[in-house]
């Protein structure tokens, strides 16, 4: 089959690889019909490269048709249409039963002290072959795959794999009171969807921050107060502007939908600005460390949120020793929630919204549908945010 294969930093190729097959009784093999390209894949393309091995197959946002099932997968049959969650979980262990499949005790990657295995996501997460391919071997298929109706286009359901539960969890963790305010940092697929979910779940004021014109424009059209990071001289000016929109206090919650890489040079500028907001010694210490550009969005979130508010982190962070502004976080009494989205824990709440009425606008959420063979160009385009790319779906 053909698959998108990682070869090195900014080097992915579509190659022929062996077809996956059933290896365990709980496996299924799915023929992929659409597969998303995610901001998380961009981390592999760049900063997480040390945890990748040339030959790794990328991708973790698939929808497709079941080809084959192992003998211990009673609820799936060939021909079923399924969305496969990005994490691999058993559904039966202590953590799965508590709605935390990202921590599944059956699939945890204990060798690296990590949580549940993920498709196509470094050896830290099990080096499991990913879904930007023609076929996918799905371990723990007795639990993971979400059966969806035949008929509507793939776009209707594919985001159940990642974008929807991630945005949903980010908003749920944010705990915004009815009519309350929320700021979303980053208006990529996750941030854009988080804005829609926040509105749907009753937030009053939704503020979005990014630096990419098309992403800001799209949010603006959807009723989000979209702020261009680059229009502010300093982090302090942005904090002031947001306070001006939120009764002078800052939003009840801030979602960090950016993560470990703040893309582009303007962001380094903002990082310094955000550090400038911290008490002197602390800011200086942070500036001296490697953590400074990598934590810029999280630092901004901490600065923006109102006292007693919540910072909900869906952006992926990888550093083990990054310094955090503990003084500010403690003094402002901030609640901090984070983690990979527990996909199956949210499916039942989200699925009823994937109808012809399309309240979350999934049907035309994707900006690009791209043949799998063009994956290398699509990665480059998405990383550079060219051609208005916000969400890319591959068609194997």
38 binds ligand NAD (CB under 6 A): yes
- Counting every residue, how long is the chain? 396
286 binds ligand NAD (CB under 6 A): no
Which uninterrupted H or E stretch holds 165?
helix 163-174
Shortest Cβ 113–Zn ion spacing (Å): 17
Residues 88-117 that bind Zn ion (CB under 5 A): 89-90, 93, 96, 104, 106
189 binds ligand NAD (CB under 6 A): yes
* Contact indicator for 183, 254 with CB cutoff of 8 Å: yes
Which uninterrupted H or E stretch holds 14?
strand 11-16
**Residue number with CB closer to ligand NAD (69 or 292):** 292
**Residue number with CB closer to ligand NAD (66 or 253):** 253
Torsion sign, CA atoms 42, 43, 46, 51: negative
CB crowding 193-219: b at 16 or more within 10 Å, else e: bbbbbbbeeebebbbbbbbbebbbebb
Count Cα neighbours of 107 within 13 Å in the Cβ-side half-sphere: 30
258 binds ligand NAD (CB under 6 A): yes
40 binds Zn ion (CB under 5 A): yes
Shortest Cβ 198–ligand NAD spacing (Å): 15
Which uninterrupted H or E stretch holds 350?
helix 343-350
Residue 345 interacts with, from ligand NAD, Zn ion, none (CB under 5-8 Å by kind): none
**Residue number with CB closer to Zn ion (103 or 296):** 103
Q: How far apart are CA 151 and CA 251, in angstroms?
A: 41
**Residue number with CB closer to Zn ion (14 or 164):** 164
Shortest Cβ 214–ligand NAD spacing (Å): 9
Binding residues vs ligand NAD (CB under 6 A): 38-40, 42-43, 162, 166, 185-191, 209-212, 215, 229, 257-259, 262-263, 267, 270, 296-297, 300, 314-316, 340-341
């Amino acid at each position: 089959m053909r698959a998108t294969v990682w070869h090195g930093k900014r080097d992915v190729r579509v190659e022929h690889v062996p077809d996956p097959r059933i290896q365990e009784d709980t496996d299924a093999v799915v023929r992929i019909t659409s597969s998303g390209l995610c901001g998380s894949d961009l981390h592999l393309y760049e900063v997480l490269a040390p945890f990748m091995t040339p030959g790794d197959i990328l991708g973790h946002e698939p929808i497709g048709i079941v080809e084959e099932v192992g003998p211990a997968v009673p609820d799936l049959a060939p021909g079923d249409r399924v969305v496969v969650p990005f994490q691999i979980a058993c559904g039966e262990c202590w953590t799965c039963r508590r709605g935390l499949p990202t921590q599944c005790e059956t699939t945890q990657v204990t060798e690296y002290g990590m949580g549940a295995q993920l498709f196509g996501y470094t050896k830290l997460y099990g080096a499991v072959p990913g879904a930007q391919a023609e076929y996918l071997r799905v371990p723990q298929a007795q639990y993971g795959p979400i059966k969806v109706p035949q008929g509507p286009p793939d776009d209707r359901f594919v985001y159940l794999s990642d974008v929807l539960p991630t945005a949903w969890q980010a908003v749920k963790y944010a705990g915004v009171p009815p009519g309350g305010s929320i700021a979303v940092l980053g208006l990529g697929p996750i941030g854009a969807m988080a804005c829609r979910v926040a509105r749907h779940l009753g937030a009053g004021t939704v503020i979005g921050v990014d630096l990419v014109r098309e992403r800001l424009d799209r949010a603006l059209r959807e009723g989000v107060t979209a702020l261009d990071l680059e229009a502010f001289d300093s982090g302090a000016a942005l904090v002031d502007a947001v306070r001006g929109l939120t009764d002078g206090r800052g939003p009840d919650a801030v979602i960090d939908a950016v993560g470990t890489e703040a893309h582009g040079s303007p962001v380094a500028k903002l990082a310094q600005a955000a550090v400038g907001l911290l008490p002197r010694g602390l800011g200086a210490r942070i500036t001296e460390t490697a953590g400074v550009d990598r934590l810029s969005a999280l630092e901004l979130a901490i600065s923006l949120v109102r006292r007693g508010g919540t910072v909900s982190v869906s952006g992926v962070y990888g550093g083990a020793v990054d310094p955090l502004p503990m003084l500010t976080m403690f003094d402002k009494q901030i609640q901090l929630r984070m983690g990979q989205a527990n996909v199956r824990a949210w499916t039942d709440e989200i699925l009823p919204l994937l109808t012809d009425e399309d309240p979350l606008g999934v049907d035309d959420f994707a900006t690009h549908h791209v043949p799998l063979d063009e994956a290398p160009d699509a990665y480059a385009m998405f990383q550079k945010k060219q051609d208005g790319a916000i969400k890319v779906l591959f068609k194997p």
